[in-house]
Structure 1
Amino acid sequence: MNSKIIGIVLVIAGIFLALWGYNIYDAASSQVTRAISGDTPIEAWAGMAGGIIAVLIGITKLK
């Protein structure tokens, strides 16, 4: 029972974290930075990757 609650929390938190990372990636300041220098903010990559990892771990806890 406790493992399933942790899994649900991880899935929900992972979705929000991935959306936050994508929001940073798609922000106007990030688009200007990518157009000029080609660099993507590390917060965007960390949010998207961390969110995906949290979702995957959460799914394994639900099984």
Structure 2
Amino acid sequence: MNNKIIGIVLVVAGAALAIWGYNIYDSASAQIGRALNGDTPIEAWAGMVGGAICVLVGLTRLK
């Protein structure tokens, strides 16, 4: 029972983190930065990758 609660929390938090990272990636300032020098904000990558990892760990806890 306890692993399922942790799994659900990780899936929800991971999805929110991934969405937050994508919002940073798609923001106007990030688009200008990518157009001028090709750099993507590290916060965007950290959010998307961290969110995906949290979702995967959460899904393994649900099984």
TM range (shorter): over 0.9
Structure 1 segments unaligned to the other structure (5+ residues): none
Provide TM-score, normalisation by structure 2.
1.00
1:21 aligns with 2:21: yes
Superposition deviation, residue 39 in structure 1: 0.3
1:50 aligns with 2:58: no
Q: Structure 1 CA distance, aligned partners of 2:5 and 2:55?
A: 13
Q: State the identity %.
A: 73
Give the aligned partner of residue 2 of structure 1. 2
Q: Structure 1 CA distance, aligned partners of 2:15 and 2:55?
A: 7
What is the CA RMSD across the aligned residues, in angstroms?
0.1
Q: Aligned AA for 1:4?
A: K
Structure 2 segments unaligned to the other structure (5+ residues): none
The number of equivalent residue pairs is 63
Ranges of 4+ aligned residues in structure 1 off by more than 4 Å = none
1:32 aligns with 2:32: yes
Q: Structure 2 CA distance, aligned partners of 1:23 and 1:8?
A: 23
